[in-house]
A and B are shown apart, each in its own frame.
Chain A
Amino acid sequence: MMSLVLLAEQVLNGLQFGVMLFLMAAGLTLIFGVMGLINLAHGSLYMLGAFAAASVAAATGSFTLALLAALAAAAVAGVIVELLIIRRLYDRDHLDQVLATFALILIFSEGTRWAFGSFPLYLDIPPALSGPVSLPGGIDYPLYRLVLIGAGLLIALGLDLMITRTRIGIRIRAGENDREMTAALGIDISRLYTLIFALGAALAGLAGALVGAIQSVQVGMGEPVLILAFVVIVIGGIGSIRGALLGALLVGLTDTLGGVFLPEALKLVTDPASAKAVGASLASMAIYILMGAILIWRPTGLFGGRA
């Protein structure tokens, strides 16, 4: 049966998954909160970050440079896309936004495949962070994943401070509340929008690079994460950074623990073979069931004020 050590390890895994989801969801939720834009191409920026990191790591061998490259590439791509396309969509209805960003996915995915070929790229954990460390209580846990948890929580804290304490944060909050008024106050609204879009893109690119080191860097890698990030911000409430963090952790833990415990729990009521199969099916649906339940309770999510 399940030991405490194993349980603790799985909770850490859930946290790590949740923290990475947060990096994706934070950008999405800011972009929606401030500009009212639904961006399906956010997953493409995640993919772009991973590809940029893998290319730079292959050329220089430096993981730090690779992360910087991921941030820069995703931010630059974000700025270009915002200036050329996205800014024409702010006044449009969600339908146009969905369609245009769906078109961007096609362009980014096939463009990346055209540029990098159809084979996955190589990106690995830096030697200094590889291998497991022993935690109190006898848990062996990969150091890199611990670093991911720490880095993600730091970024969450930084974002929260930025929004509540800094000038730019004040502008962002003003932008969320009343766009016309913000502009009337003499804030250059279009520069603010470009900045926020670039910030969101950079976070997604960073997530792609960080996760790329322990996963496969390949075309289309951003789409499953994108959909999970949507679930996260729907649960957390659109526009709320704190909601995104809570939602991300809930989704991460539900997904990880559900996959482990549902098959075990079903073994108590049915034979092991079908418990495994049915349990795995249910586990893959668990986060959507969680989302449905939360929406019945609070239709605008945990921290959401308006729809």
Chain B
Amino acid sequence: MSREAQVNLAVVVALVLLPLAAHLMGESYWVTLATRAAVLALAGVGLNIALGQGGLVSLGHAVFFGIGGYSMGILAYHAQTYTPLIESFGLPGTNLMPVIWLVAAISAALAALLIGALSLRTTGVYFIMITLAFGQMFYFFALSWPTYGGEDGLSIYVRNRFPGVNTLAPIQFYGIVIAVLLLALLLSHRLARSPFGLALAAARQVPARVAAVGLDPQRLKLVAFVLSAAVTGLAGALFADLNRFVSPTMFSWHTSGEIMVFVIIGGVGRLMGPVVGAMVFVLLEHLLGGISEYWQIAFGVLLLLIVLFARGGLIGLVAGREKAHG
């Protein structure tokens, strides 16, 4: 077992056991914090598919996070108010999580197909800026679109349902989130080792060689971008359910930046990178935020130090430089 595999195993054990311990000690807020970390980690796992495996520096993943959030918000809003989703078809909303997840992932994937098809015509810094600009476009749209609350956002007063689970109990909701996160991690792990993943890695490193064997590197990247968006969209739906609320800030470019920060703090292209990154972020936000209003200065310095001096992220520090994949 490699060092990184040991670290990964330790992280999974901690993910399962620590919140359970907090729950047993009656510290339900720590369970809520852990849920937040797990949801943000899921968004990071999504981004990591594009970023770590596909080499696509997307500064617009907040679009997919937000679309996931609004999928939940809109469906649950119509279920809550007993109004049809689309007037002429009489299609109702829903408060069933699996349906919401599916809608969230598919909507995010469709948006990614459109944005990706446009953005992937460019590379490098153009790609970064274009994804950023698309993010702003969605942000402004959500801000001024009156039907679903505009800047006020949408409150969903009761958390959505999942058959057989009391989603309002923090530990049970955490159970759902952690199951989804572990599934996504498994998917991401499998993906990296699949023929598609290997071709994608090659398309990232030596696009000419991939083209030479008859594969279209652009198409590979587009597929990675869409998959990545679907996972991030799913995270958005769970995030909305965690807060029982969605608002345009989910679309803001700071959200994109933060999701990227999780991935980097943990380690780019590392399976558990986003998980470790999100856990550290949430912990720091909670601890530093309690000490000073100006905690973001300290956080900025820390982030800078990691980028400058710890290039493999925290996992890289612990497990050494060689990567499991990528």
- Is A–B contact present in the complex under a CB 8 A cutoff? yes
Show the binding face of A for B, using Cβ within 8 Å: 32, 38, 85, 88, 93-96, 98-100, 102-107, 109-111, 113-114, 227, 230-231, 233-234, 238, 277, 280-281, 284-285, 288-289, 291-292, 295-296, 299-301, 307
Out of B129, B253, B257, B304, which one reaches A234, CB within 8 Å?
B129
- Distance in angstroms from A107 CB to nearest chain B CB is 4
Can you give 9 A-B contacts (C-beta < 8 A)? A98-B257, A100-B303, A107-B300, A233-B129, A234-B126, A284-B144, A288-B136, A295-B122, A307-B126
Residues of B within 8 A of A277 (CB): 144, 146
* Closest Cβ–Cβ distance, residue B243 to chain A (whole Å): 23
Task: Assess the A103–B126 pair: CB atoms within 8 A.
Answer: no
Q: CA A224 – CA B93 in complex, angstroms?
A: 36
Closest B residue by C-beta to A36: B125
Question: Is there an interface contact between B140 and A110, defined as CB atoms closer than 8 Å?
Answer: no
Would you call A94 and B57 a contact (CB within 8 A)?
A: yes
A295 & B121 in contact (Cβ 8 Å cutoff) = yes
The verdict on A106 contacting B307 (CB below 8 Å), with A94-B57, A238-B126 known, is no
Rounded to whole angstroms, the CA-CA distance of A113 and B292 in the bound complex is 13
Stretch in B94-102, B178-186, B190-198, B260-268 with 4+ CB within 8 Å of A: B260-268
Cβ distance A122 to chain B, nearest Cβ, rounded Å:
23
Contact B133 A106 (CB under 8 A): no
Pick the 4 closest A-B CB pairs, nearest first.
A106-B300, A288-B137, A107-B300, A103-B303
Known: A94-B124, A114-B297. 4 other contacts (CB 8 A): A94-B128, A102-B303, A104-B300, A110-B300
**Contact of A284 with B140 at beta-carbon distance under 8 Å, contacts A234-B129, A299-B121, A307-B124 already known:** yes
Please, which residue of chain A has its CB at the minimum distance from the CB of B144?
Answer: A281
Whether A96 touches B128, Cβ cut-off 8 Å, given contacts A227-B253, A281-B141, A296-B121, is no
B15 neighbours in A (Cβ, 8 Å): none
Specify the main secondary structure of chain B where it touches its partner. helix
Check: B75 CB closer than 8 A to any chain A CB: no
Count of inter-chain pairs, beta carbons less than 8 A: 121
Say whether A107 contacts B124, CB under 8 Å. no
Contact A110 B297 (CB under 8 A): yes
CB of B59 within 8 A of chain A? yes
Tell me the bound Cα distance from A292 to B119 in angstroms. Answer: 9
> B residues within 8 Å of A by Cβ?
51, 57, 59, 118, 121-126, 128-130, 132-134, 136-137, 140-141, 143-146, 253, 257, 260-261, 264, 268, 294, 296-297, 299-301, 303-304, 307-308, 311
A281 to B129, CA, bound (A): 22
- Write out the residue numbers on chain A whose beta carbons fall within 8 Å of the beta carbon of B299: 106
**B121 and A85 within 8 A (CB):** no
Q: A85-B308, A99-B303, A103-B307 are in contact. Are A110 and B122 (CB under 8 A)?
A: no
| Contact residue among A38, A104, A109 (Cβ-Cβ distance under 8 Å from B128) | A38
Docked pose: A109 CA to B257 CA in angstroms: 15
User: What distance in Å separates the Cβ of A223 from its nearest Cβ neighbour in chain B?
Assistant: 8
Q: Which residues of B contact A110 (CB under 8 A)?
A: 294, 296-297, 300
Q: How far is the CB of B196 from chain A (nearest CB, A)?
A: 22
> For the complex, what is the distance from the CA of A103 to the CA of B298, rounded to whole Å?
10
In the bound complex, what is the Cα–Cα distance between A104 and B311 (angstroms)?
Answer: 17
Distance (Å) between the CB of A260 and the closest chain B CB? 16
Indicate if the CB atoms of A113 and B294 lie closer than 8 Å: yes
Whether B297 pairs with A106 at a CB distance below 8 angstroms is: yes
User: What is the bound-complex CA distance between A285 and B294, given in angstroms?
Assistant: 33
In whole angstroms, what is the CA distance A105 to B57 when docked? 19
**Of listed A103, A104, A301, residue having the most chain B CB within 10 A:** A103
A98 to B127, CA, bound (A): 12
How far, in angstroms, from A107 to B297 measured CA to CA in the complex? 5
Alpha-carbon distance between A93 and B128 when the two chains are bound, in angstroms: 12
Question: When the two chains form their complex, are residues A99 and B264 in contact, meaning their CB atoms are under 8 A apart?
Answer: yes
- Tell me the nearest residue of chain B to A227, going by C-beta: B136
A281 touches B145 (CB 8 A): yes
